């Protein structure tokens, strides 16, 4: 029996060198401690474009983009790699100037005494993988958006019904105000019209936020007040055979959340609970304080769910309902709201024993700020191309004690400002024929630098900011607005 003798060190080294040099899918090469390229292989030449003669002795920073070199990225990489293995992905540059997406690993190479003698560097061209990942992400986003629009389409009938009811309240209220002189009846009518207006605006914002990814607008919310004011809508969402029971604890701290999305979350939970109850049953909405949290729970006496279903319940598009009966978006939206509110969502359920969904919000410990309508007597210029809106806004500001001047367009507003340089507040619509509210505001502030500006718009803030990136230098109020909203913005510009 013959035993193979180990190859001499020089032969092993030569074999390893041949192996490395023949690898074509990876760039494998050595760097000196200061980043000079000391070796090269076929893979490096294939997707970086340099021959061995062209690259040996050059600094490895030539592989980086101009932006990365200007930011000192190559030196940062060497410093990090000298401490321990360094891994990264980013754009790199070929000899011909084209870019590729690289996956890079750099290991420090040390001598027997621990001294750094260089770096071993492995680079892969993963451009195609990155493109595939981007394409997949775009496809997922497109699918998600199409599912949301499909869900909105399924809601069309109910939305039309809701808006017809709201318009009916407003229309009938206007008729009553024209013929009834009883002050008590008038006040009740106005209250009803105000609630209808608020609910219509809320429905619109829900749809815009749902379809266009409008960012959340957190505000201080009393969950009991929110639930009580939304109770009528929740009762309409369930069948007559199902009882809705409210068990609301007293003296709850406020929470910070988006009120419209909170209402949407409640509606989603109640609708899910309704669908889980086959015939008669009870849905209980309860609130409580638990340590530093405010807890809102929705419990039903329905069919319940298995542990496996409960674990997947918040996944987008996951649903146990029949095709066409549910999009699987409800609980995922609720979960997203809780994540952005800094809270969490828990599901407790067993088959045949109903389900309980718990929303846990961080409680606000400080007292709620008082809203005060007592503002200093100042002169305000109101601008809107819609006469009814202009008239109503003028009445609102007059009721707050302001001296009101009005204009129907941007040029008229500028002329008014020149005639009345003592105007301290400009309140203008954003979208108007001719000069927009933003152009008006810029011109006005250029003439009166101390002028306070509030811009009003019925468009989604994110959409406006895409067209007007400098919008954030002014206070913005959404239409329709209420007196309390105007007061809040006036306090903001006066701060």
How many whole angstroms separate alpha carbon 244 and alpha carbon 274?
Answer: 10
The per-residue pLDDT string of the chain (495 residues; one tens digit each, 9 = 90 and over) reads 444 434 444 555 565 566 666 667 888 999 999 999 999 988 888 889 999 899 999 999 999 999 999 999 999 999 999 999 999 999 999 999 999 999 999 999 998 888 999 999 999 998 888 888 888 777 766 665 555 555 555 455 556 656 766 777 787 778 778 877 888 878 888 887 888 787 787 777 656 655 555 455 788 889 998 888 777 667 767 777 888 888 988 888 999 888 877 887 888 788 888 888 888 899 999 999 988 899 999 999 887 877 766 666 555 444 544 433 343 345 666 777 777 778 888 888 888 788 888 899 999 876 443 333 333 458 899 998 877 778 777 877 877 888 888 888 999 899 889 888 889 999 998 888 888 899 999 999 998 998 999 998 876 566 666 666 677 788 888 877 777 778 888 888 876
pLDDT at 42: 86
How many whole angstroms separate alpha carbon 68 and alpha carbon 81?
Answer: 17
Token representation of residue 383:
């601008």
Phi, psi of 99 (to 5 degrees): -110, 150
- Cα 104 versus chain centre, distance: 33
Give the CA radius of gyration of the chain: 33
How many whole angstroms separate alpha carbon 373 and alpha carbon 30?
Answer: 73
How many whole angstroms separate alpha carbon 361 and alpha carbon 367?
Answer: 17
Question: Residue 210 has what DSSP assignment?
Answer: H
Pairing relation of β-strands 355-362 and 293-300?
antiparallel
pLDDT at 2: 40
How many whole angstroms separate alpha carbon 347 and alpha carbon 306?
Answer: 11
SS3 of 196, please? Answer: helix
Token representation of residue 19:
């192996």
**Strands (DSSP E) along 264-354, which ranges?**
281-290, 293-300, 344-349
Look at the domain 9-125 and name its fold: Beta-Lactamase (3.30.450)
- Smallest CA-to-CA distance from 287 within 279, 295, 276, 278 is with 295
pLDDT at 166: 74
How many whole angstroms separate alpha carbon 463 and alpha carbon 478?
Answer: 13
Domain boundaries along the sequence of the chain: 9-125, 142-212, 219-362, 379-494
- Distance (Å) of CA 130 to CA 27, 65, 67, 95, 101: 18, 18, 20, 21, 7
The pTM for the full model equals: 0.37
Token representation of residue 385:
């191309």
Phi, psi of 478 (to 5 degrees): -85, 145
- Cα 7 versus chain centre, distance: 63
Is 208:271 a contact under the CB 8 Å cutoff?
no
**Residues constituting the chain:** 495
- Distance (Å) of CA 150 to CA 137, 146, 324, 414, 431: 20, 6, 10, 46, 30
The full DSSP string for 20-74 is HHH--SSEEEEE-TTSBB----HHHHHHH---HHHHTTSBGGGGB-HHHHHTTHH
Look at the domain 219-362 and name its fold: Heat Shock Protein 90 (3.30.565)
Tokens 């959404």, residue? 478
How many whole angstroms separate alpha carbon 428 and alpha carbon 331?
Answer: 39
Token representation of residue 407:
């204009």
Q: State whether CATH 3.40.50.2300 applies to domain 379-494.
A: yes
- Smallest CA-to-CA distance from 202 within 217, 187, 220, 223 is with 217
Q: Say which residues have a Cβ less than 8 Å from residue 164's Cβ, sequence separation at least 6.
A: none
- Smallest CA-to-CA distance from 77 within 34, 114, 109, 116 is with 34
Number of Cβ within 10 Å of residue 464's Cβ equals 17
The full DSSP string for 13-33 is HHHHHHHHHH--SSEEEEE-T
pLDDT at 377: 57
pLDDT at 64: 94
Asked, colleague to colleague, whether 9-125 and 379-494 share their fold, the answer is no
Question: Residue 181 has what DSSP assignment?
Answer: -
pLDDT at 318: 44
| Tally of CA atoms within 13 A in the half-sphere of 130 that contains its CB | 12
Is 381:417 a contact under the CB 8 Å cutoff?
yes
How many whole angstroms separate alpha carbon 168 and alpha carbon 163?
Answer: 8
């Amino acid at each position: 029996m013959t035993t193979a003798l180990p190859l001499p060190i020089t032969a092993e080294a030569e074999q390893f060198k041949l192996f490395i040099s023949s690898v074509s899918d990876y760039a494998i090469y050595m760097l000196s401690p200061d980043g000079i390229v000391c070796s090269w292989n076929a893979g490096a030449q294939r997707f970086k474009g340099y021959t061995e003669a062209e690259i040996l002795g050059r600094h490895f920073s030539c592989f980086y983009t101009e932006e990365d070199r200007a930011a000192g990225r190559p030196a940062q990489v060497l410093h990090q790699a000298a401490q321990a293995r360094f891994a990264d992905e980013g754009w790199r540059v070929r000899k011909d100037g084209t870019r590729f997406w690289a996956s890079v690993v750099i290991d420090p190479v040390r001598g027997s005494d621990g001294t750094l003698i260089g770096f071993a560097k492995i680079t892969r061209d993963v451009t195609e993988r990155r493109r595939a990942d981007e394409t997949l992400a775009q496809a997922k986003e497109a699918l998600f958006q199409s599912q949301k629009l499909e869900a909105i389409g399924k809601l069309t009938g109910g939305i039309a019904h809701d808006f017809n009811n709201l318009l009916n309240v407003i229309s009938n209220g206007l008729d009553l105000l024209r013929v009834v002189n009883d002050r008590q009846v008038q006040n009740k009518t106005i209250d009803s019209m105000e609630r209808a207006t608020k609910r219509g605006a809320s429905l619109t914002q829900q749809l815009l936020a749902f379809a266009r990814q409008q960012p959340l607008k957190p505000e201080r919310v009393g969950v009991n007040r929110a639930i009580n004011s939304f109770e009528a809508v929740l009762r309409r969402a369930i069948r007559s055979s199902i009882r809705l029971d409210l068990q609301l604890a007293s003296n709850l701290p406020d929470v910070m959340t988006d009120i419209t999305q909170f209402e949407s979350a409640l509606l989603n939970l109640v609708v899910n609970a309704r669908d889980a109850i086959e015939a008669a049953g009870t849905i209980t909405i309860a609130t409580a304080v638990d340590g530093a949290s405010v807890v809102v729970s929705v419990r039903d006496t329905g069919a319940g769910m298995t542990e496996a279903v409960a674990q997947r319940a918040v996944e987008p598009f996951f649903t146990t309902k029949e095709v066409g009966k549910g999009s699987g978006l409800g609980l995922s939206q609720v979960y997203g709201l809780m994540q952005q509110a800094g809270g969490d969502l828990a599901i407790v359920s067993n088959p045949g024993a109903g389900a309980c969904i718990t929303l846990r919000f961080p409680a606000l410990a400080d007292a709620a700020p008082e809203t005060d309508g007592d503002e200093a007597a100042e002169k305000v210029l109101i601008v809107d191309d819609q006469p009814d809106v202009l008239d109503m806004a003028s009445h609102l500001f007059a009721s707050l004690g302001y001296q009101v001047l009005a204009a129907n367009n941007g040029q008229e507003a500028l002329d008014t400002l020149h005639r009345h340089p003592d105007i301290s507040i400009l309140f203008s619509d954003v979208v108007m024929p001719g000069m927009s509210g933003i152009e008006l505001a810029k011109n006005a502030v250029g003439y009166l630098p101390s002028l306070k500006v509030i811009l009003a718009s019925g468009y989604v803030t994110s959409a406006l900011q895409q067209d007007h990136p400098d919008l954030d230098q002014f206070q913005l109020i959404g239409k329709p607005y209420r007196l309390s909203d105007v007061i809040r913005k006036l306090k903001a510009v006066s701060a």
